[in-house]
Amino acid sequence: MGNPIPLQRPRTSFVRRIVYDPQRKDKEDTITQIKLQHKKKPTYDGPLYLDITFYMQPPASMSYKKKCFLYKMPHFKKPDLSNLIKWVEDCMEQAGILANDSRIFSINAKKIYDEYPRTEFTLTREGHEKEK
């Protein structure tokens, strides 16, 4: 639940000369949510198919009528789809669902408008039934 988050690059502090992750807290929260949903199932291995949908909230400044028209329509503004996918792959890997995100051989992804912002994904092992 919540707004989909795009992955940002690590930042550098020139004063302290360190590299840090500006999304550390958000990543920890997402990893915790994924772990709770995955429970104690084993790590997925082998070729995996990822089907992912990002539900984006319309701008608050928009009228109710325009918002209703936008629901289920494609979202083609920032953030870009590739960074959103990278965020989910990173969090799944760190949560222990994937041994490595290179296991994903195919991705079907889309961004659409919805009243309730969230990210929904399904991992499918080739030749097995879908597992959320």
- Tell me the torsion sign for CA atoms 109, 122, 119, 100: negative
Residue pair 120/108 in contact (Cβ under 8 Å)? The answer is no
Model confidence pLDDT, tens digit, residues 38-86: 887 778 878 899 999 999 988 888 888 888 888 888 898 889 999 999 9
Q: How confident is the model at residue 7 (pLDDT cuts 50, 70, 90)?
A: confident
Instruction: Determine the Cα–Cα distance for residues 46 and 28; give it in Å rounded to an integer.
Output: 26
Instruction: Determine the Cα–Cα distance for residues 47 and 128; give it in Å rounded to an integer.
Output: 11
- Partners of 113 in the β-ladder: 56
Q: Whose CA is closest to 73, among 99, 45, 111, 100?
A: 111
Output the pLDDT for position 84. 93
Say if residue 128's pLDDT is above 60.
Answer: no
Domain residue spans of the chain: 11-131
Say if residue 129's pLDDT is above 70.
Answer: no
Architecture of domain 11-131: 2-Layer Sandwich (3.30)
Q: Which residue has the tokens 């953030």?
A: 79
Average confidence (pLDDT) over 18-31:
80
